[in-house]
């Protein structure tokens, strides 16, 4: 389907993958609102891209974020649940508060945003929810106790929502990026880009390709890996 005039809300839209999705969707004619917790960074991104922004924490103010987006857009067709973060944490260094905060954004926040979107998607006659998961939703790793477990939970919720919402013409799509060169996890967003590894625009391309499928079909899960991220040897 064409994205022309499709009404889209992208959480975590001030940087990285969320920003790339918002910018690419807008370039295809979609009407886009971005959300983020950092009001200053969000405002700067909104000004640069010429987009409307609604600041707020998805884990605590989902209803307000949704209300602000719908007021501007006049409804909703697509929710991109992209807000998420993580920190490396081994079991013997477990930080309960940090783990709870990660889960509040990555799991509860996604669920609250999806629940807030439902009445508007129903009013539109259907729509799409995109859950930005990770390859960490499919395989754990050393230090992944908090982050990987939150993405496994998001994958489980995705499957539950698919079962619940398909009869309402609502597609739920899970995107699993592998390592992407963004500022995620405290990485320097200005570091030199490795041409062998994924960038945010790759994930935006995959996400929009899934969205552009005719609404009679949907892609339940899409995983994106770099083809050959390893440095040549010898």
pLDDT of 51-69, one tens digit each? 999 999 999 999 999 999 9
Average pLDDT along the chain: 95
Among the listed residues 18, 147, 162, 175, the single catalytic one is: 147
Q: What's the CATH superfamily of 7-224?
A: NAD(P)-binding Rossmann-like Domain (3.40.50.720)
115-141 mean pLDDT: 98
Pairing of strands 221-224, 7-10: unpaired
φ/ψ region of 131 (left if φ > 0, alpha if ψ in -120 to 50, else beta) reads: beta
173-185 mean pLDDT: 88
According to the model, what pLDDT value does residue 231 have?
82
The Cα 98–Cα 88 span in angstroms is 10
Known active-site residue 147: yes
pTM above 0.75, yes or no: yes
The Cα 83–Cα 59 span in angstroms is 10
175-189 mean pLDDT: 78
- E-strand ranges in the chain read 7-10, 31-36, 52-55, 78-81, 127-132, 170-177, 221-224
The Cα 190–Cα 209 span in angstroms is 27
The domain locations on the chain are 7-224
Is residue 190 pLDDT above 80, yes or no?
Answer: no
């Amino acid at each position: 389907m064409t994205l022309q005039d499709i009404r889209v809300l992208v959480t975590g839209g001030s940087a990285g993958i969320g920003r790339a999705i918002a910018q690419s969707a807008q370039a295809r004619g979609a009407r886009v609102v971005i959300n983020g917790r950092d009001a200053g960074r969000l405002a700067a991104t909104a000004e640069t891209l010429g987009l409307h922004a609604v600041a707020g924490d998805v884990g605590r103010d989902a209803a307000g974020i949704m209300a602000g987006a719908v007021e501007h857009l006049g409804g909703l067709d697509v929710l991109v649940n992209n807000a998420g973060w993580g920190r490396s944490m081994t079991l013997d260094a477990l930080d309960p508060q940090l783990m709870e905060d990660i889960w509040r954004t990555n799991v509860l926040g996604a669920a609250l945003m999806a629940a807030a979107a439902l009445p508007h998607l129903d009013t539109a006659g259907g729509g799409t929810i995109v859950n930005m998961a990770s390859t960490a939703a499919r395989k754990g790793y050393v230090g992944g106790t908090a982050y990987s477990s939150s993405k496994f939970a998001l994958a489980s919720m995705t499957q539950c929502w698919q079962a619940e919402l398909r009869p309402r013409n609502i597609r739920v799509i899970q995107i699993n990026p592998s390592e992407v060169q963004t500022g995620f996890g405290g990485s320097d967003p200005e570091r030199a880009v490795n041409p062998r590894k994924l960038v945010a625009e790759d994930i935006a391309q995959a996400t929009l390709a899934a969205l552009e499928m005719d609404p009679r079909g949907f892609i339940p899960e899409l995983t994106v890996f770099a083809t050959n991220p390893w440095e040549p040897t010898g």
